Structure 1
Amino acid sequence: MMNARMTRRRMIGISAAAAGMVLLPPRGGAAAEAVTWQGEAMGAQASLIIHHPDRDKAERLVEATVAEVRRLERIFSLYREDSDLTLLNGQGFLVMPSPEMVDILRQSRAAWELTGGAFDPTVQPLWDLYRRHFSTPGASEAGPPSEAVAERVTRVGLDRIACSPDRIDLSVPGSALTLNGIAQGYVTDRVVDLLKAGGIERSMVDMGESRAIGSAPGNRPWRIGISDPLDKASILTVLDVEDRAVATSSPFGFCFDREGNFSHIIDPRSGATPQRHASVTVVAGQAALADALSTAFNLMDADAIAASVRMQAGVEAHVLSLRGEWTKFTAWDGRRL
């Protein structure tokens, strides 16, 4: 039985994550001394490891990173009453939106097109429906009525949002956005840009999703362990990454119901919560893209995942089946066991 209180998001850091990844010491020994930070970003556990010969400069970069994360939270957070996203959802429009809001919606649209609509941040009305249903005492274990689900689906569709540097409009009454499937990756990418501008050539950044800058100490790859979604203490496979982002999503990360039949990964096209795969890990150049695709691929079959991966150079997907079998998809051959 799944724990409905298990965290929805995941972290890479010194300790294991609920859904899926662990930063391991590089091969050949422990990492060199570094400036590290652990905290919270966008509602997720976050960590930062900076290798720099000037410790004072490294600490100043950590302070700048935390300030940037807090600034972006005031734009993207679904739970802050003063965020731009909360204002947009509440009034249905946003005048003179921040450049970051316009940019994240542009990247969301690209992921929406790449996945045939499987990634869609306008899924929030369906999330609210499931949350309210299962938080009601005596709620049916069969889930919300099919008619209610169908009605909420009519509010979903990223193609019906008007977005420009001057204004964003949610044209469908009752529609709303959640950026939880991409914002952590987006924030991670912004932090990477900040650190690179500060001269950092070697770092592991995790602001809810992770991205490596350069190689680990000793010119070795950073090693990321992918955990069993049902047993976070068990590492199923290890990925070596350099200058790449990694994101993992699993339907077992959070479920609305105690029996685990209704996952947080909701198909925006049907309103259903299918469990096609045990987990999906995506490696990409950008954390925002890896974040969005790891969610969407959980809703797609093998052929659809292969087709999407072939359309995006530098992307690979590691899919764990419900039977415990791994399949790797790459942009070069589409599918490789």
Structure 2
Amino acid sequence: MTVTLNRRRFIAISAAALGLSVGAGIRGASAGTGTLHRWNGTALGARASILLHHPDAGRAQGLLDECVREIARLEAMFSIYRADSALSYLNRDGRLDGAPLDLIHLLGESRRFSRLSAGAFDISVQPLFALHARYRGAGEKPSAAEIDAARALVDYRQIEISTGRIAFARPGMALTLNGIAQGYITDRVAELLRARAMGEVLVNLGEVRGLGRHPSGRPWHVGLENPPGHDGTLRRIELNEDSPAVATSAAHGHWFGAPRGRFGAPRGRHHLLDPASGASAMRHASVSVCARDAMTADALSTALAILPLDRAADCLQAVAPATAYFTAWDGVRSVRHGQAV
């Protein structure tokens, strides 16, 4: 079975990793002494799935239902696509009193990754995204003056966070959590299942995190897809105790209008925007990060998609153990590591 995610997520879970036949759509599949139960749905606009191994179908269904409720609870805070989310109220009003604790915590973590990446990761990039999204026709693009005006609203240091309150220091600012929220929700669901004594779990909510091992006894494996236009087999990586999570940021996840020319030529505008320039980052076609939790993998894959390759090691070392897999626009692959001391 191969799962292809929409938007910027391009992680495939191979059939060999799951022990299921290609195209399997049933909720439960036999695996050893128990059953591998599966939920399929969406989370923050991306296709999502949860796999858990349990001998009791009723208990497994109850756990999956609990996970779905947790996803819905967090999505009501973090979604930029819902007008009634806490994030949308914050973006509309420029402040949010009585802000939920999960949102305050996630904004604090976002600030940490912004500092770690010297601003390459910045959740206040939403004004730039909204600007580029207005120009989708052939040959259309924002003017330099428009980009400069939007860039003036991008600065994570201008997000004021206090007990129960979030506010913007500059009118017109707006946030997007699309580079970190999927990972955060993935971790929350994984930890919920861990607290319920579940030890054989694979959570894929746009980012992937495994608990324990595949029911067959081998580790969970994840296949990373090549960008469109590049041949070659999937890079297969193993999720282990030190790095049980993986996330991918890829330019081909979302284009503002159709990309020009072959994909291998870095032309056109895509959603991975460099806060410093206001333009689409063109250094890498895709970046995948394996880390100790999905939130870290999510945020760091976003940052490393923007930063030059020689900056990767320092960022990875700060969250070690972690590994980043880069694919260049010509298909050349490279790997960088952060080693635990």
TM-score above 0.5, yes or no: yes
Paired with 1:225 and 1:255, the residues of 2 have a C-alpha distance of 23
Give the Cα separation in 2 of the matches to 1:62 and 1:328.
Answer: 35
Q: What is the deviation of 1:165?
A: 2.3
Task: Please list, as runs of the form range in 1=range in 2, the aligned pairs for 1:56-95 lying within 5 A after superposition.
Answer: 56-95=58-97
5+ unaligned residues in a row in structure 2: which ranges?
A: 21-29, 261-267
> For residue 20 of structure 1, what is the aligned residue in structure 2?
10
Q: CA deviation at 1:323?
A: 2.0
CA pair 56-29 structure 1, distance change in 2 beyond 3 A? closer
Counting matched residue pairs gives 318
Structure-1 residue corresponding to 2:330: 323
Match of 1:131 in 2: 133
More displaced 10-residue stretch of structure 1: 35-44 or 321-330: 321-330
Against the structure 1 CA distance between its residues 61 and 324, is the aligned structure 2 distance closer, same or farther, given a 3 Å change threshold?
same
1:107-128 deviations in Å (ceiling 9; x for gaps):
1011111111111010000001
Partner letter of residue 51 of structure 2?
Answer: I
Amino acid paired to 2:298: D
Post-superposition offset of 1:133: 2.3
| 1:20–1:233 Cα change, 3 Å | farther
Name whichever of 257-266 and 275-284 sits farther off: 257-266
* Contact 1:185–1:208 (Cα < 8 Å) also in 2: yes
User: 1:92 & 1:318 partners in 2: Cα distance?
Assistant: 37
The amino acid of 2:248's aligned partner reads T
Q: 1:167 to 1:319 in 2, by over 3 A?
A: same
SS where residue 318 of structure 1 aligns?
strand
Give the secondary-structure state (helix, strand or coil) at the position aligned to 1:88.
Answer: helix
Residue 58 (structure 1) shift: 1.1
CA shift for structure 1 position 40: 0.6
Superposed displacement of residue 29, structure 1: 5.9
**Corresponding position of 1:167:** 165
Aligned to 2:142, what secondary structure does the other structure show? coil
Q: Could you list the per-position Cα deviations for residues 18-61 of structure 1 after superposition, in whole angstroms to 9, with x for gaps in the alignment?
A: 55221124479658231101011111100000001222211100
Task: Flag the 1:109–1:28 CA change in 2: closer, same or farther, 3 A.
Answer: closer
Deviation at 1:215, TM superposition (A): 1.0
Asked if structure 1 preserves the Cα contact closer than 8 Å seen for 2:250 and 2:285, the reply is: yes
Higher relative contact order (CA 8 A, sep 6+): 1
- Structure 1 residue 249 displacement after superposition: 1.0
Q: 1:324 to 1:233 in 2, by over 3 A?
A: closer
Which residue does 2:264 correspond to in 1? none
Counterparts of residues 182-331 of structure 1 (less than 5 Å): 182-230=180-228, 235-243=233-241, 244-260=244-260, 261-331=268-338
The correspondence of residues 89-128 of structure 1 with structure 2, limited to 5 A, is: 89-128=91-130
1:153-190 Cα shifts (integer Å, max 9, x gaps): 11001111111222101111110000111111111011
Q: Offset of 1:271 from its aligned partner?
A: 0.4
User: 1 CA distance for matches of 2:223 and 2:212?
Assistant: 18
CA distance in 1, matches of 2:118, 2:54: 42
Q: Point out the more displaced range, 71-80 or 228-237.
A: 228-237
CA 1:45/1:27 → structure 2, altered by over 3 Å: closer, same or farther? closer
Cα deviation, residue 16, structure 1 = 3.0
Structure 1's 44 and 28: CA in aligned 2 closer, same or farther, altered over 3 A?
closer
- Of residues 160-169 and 148-157 in structure 1, the stretch that sits farther from structure 2 once superposed is 160-169
Distance across 2 between alignment mates of 1:281 and 1:202: 23
CA spacing shift, 1:91–1:53, aligned 2, 3 Å: same
- Say whether the 8 Å CA contact 1:26–1:221 is kept in structure 2: no
- For residue 214 of structure 2, what is the amino acid of its counterpart? A
Helix, strand or coil at the partner of 2:41: strand
Match of 1:6 in 2: none
- Tell me by how many angstroms 1:217 deviates: 1.7
Which letter maps to 1:220? Answer: R
Deviations 1:297-335 (A, max 9, x none): 11111111112112221111011112212111111299x
Distance 1:195 1:298, change over 3 A: same
**TM-score between both structures, scaled by the size of structure 1:** 0.89
- Is this contact kept in 2: 1:22–1:224, CA < 8 A? yes
Deviation at 1:140, TM superposition (A): 4.3
Contact 1:24 1:222 in 2 (8 A): no
In 1: Cα distance, 2:304 partner to 2:38 partner: 32
Which amino acid in the other structure matches residue 258 of structure 1? A
> Which residue identity lines up with residue 89 of structure 1 in the other structure?
N
* Cα deviations by residue, 1:242-300 (Å, 9 ceiling, x for unpaired): 34110011111111022351010001122011211111000011111111111111111
Identity of aligned residues (%): 37
